Chains A and B, each alone.
Chain A
């Protein structure tokens, strides 16, 4: 609907913007900018891309810690696995090599006794271990449950930020696969306690990672929302 009035305004549009604001307006704006920049620089909200970078750094640090732990765990297991074997062979060797010597019979008897005490000790140790393991099982169950909850929370992100979600869940899955490989090692590993400890620390890392991811998401959502609202809604 272009009537003569509308046409006229369009043709002379610039002339209608003839009023100039008071120069004091810019002064006030500048003062407020100074104030805000003084206040804001330490808490400046980061743009989305930088958040991604922060998330990546957190994940990298987390993964390297896990890797370091699991490598160290393997080394100590190898040492621990090797030790009892060498003790066994040194116990057996003199008995087999010199059979018809009386001194060795005595030696044999001498040897048998400590062996009994060793097995007795082993039993009590095993019993202790089992009670400790049930405690650890409970701990693990608790962590697993917590991880499940956090994962559900993370999943609500899938719709809004599918890319970020994929990245986040990928990172958690990497940790989880380490956990499962530890779990498969558990039944035939002589050093159960260390494996279980590694499993628990893995679960704790998973929770820490999920917490950080959820934190980042919250901050992204918040900064997006507040910026939008500030620009459009507030007076």
Chain B
């Protein structure tokens, strides 16, 4: 979305900096849906995701002078949204790293699910993501949907690369497991 018209977005950002209120609204229209879905996948709660959305836009608009075009505006905003979403999870004392030993051993032995044999559907994947525990869901969504690489995820979550890798592998296995079960039932 932001790739299609980066110049247009830059113009909007400039106009926001000059205090043009309509441009704030336009930026919100442009990004709110993507940012809301990003947050929703992490916090897994519509009310929380809406709070995150509100706080993120307010903070981003307040700090728009410090946005230095080092990334796209969308990437900058998304990072704010993700940080706030993770903080929301942490505030609720939800573990960011899942120590799910039984399933870990279990999955490790079973190795790969036959992804080829699974018929993947958008709605099923969305449903399965919601059923993942917080830590798995966060790591999985950051890579699978938001496209961050391992190093970036390690930095965002303040955990080691190795942990990111194993968490992601397990999360993916579990997701596929849930999809398969759902398909059977």
Contacts and interface: CB of A to CB of B under 8 A. Distances in A.
Interface in A203-235: 224, 227-228, 230-235
Contacts of B83: 232-233
A4 interface: yes
A19 interface: yes
Interface residues of B, number: 48
Contact of B144 (A6, A19, A21, A33): A6
Interface of A: 3-6, 8-9, 12-13, 15-22, 24-26, 28-30, 32-33, 36-37, 45, 47, 224, 227-228, 230-235
Interface string B69-107: 000000010011001100110010000000000000000
Interface string B108-144: 0000000110101010011000000000000000001
List of 9 A-B pairs having minimum Cβ-Cβ separation, nearest first: A227-B66, A21-B36, A17-B37, A231-B63, A4-B115, A235-B87, A8-B120, A227-B63, A15-B122
B33 A20 contact: yes
B28 A16 contact: no
Given A6-B144, A25-B54, A12 B36 contact: no
A29 B37 contact: no
Main secondary structure of the interface of B (DSSP, over half): helix
Nearest to B172: A5
A37 B19 contact: yes
A233 B63 CA distance: 12
Contact of A19 (B40, B57, B145): B40
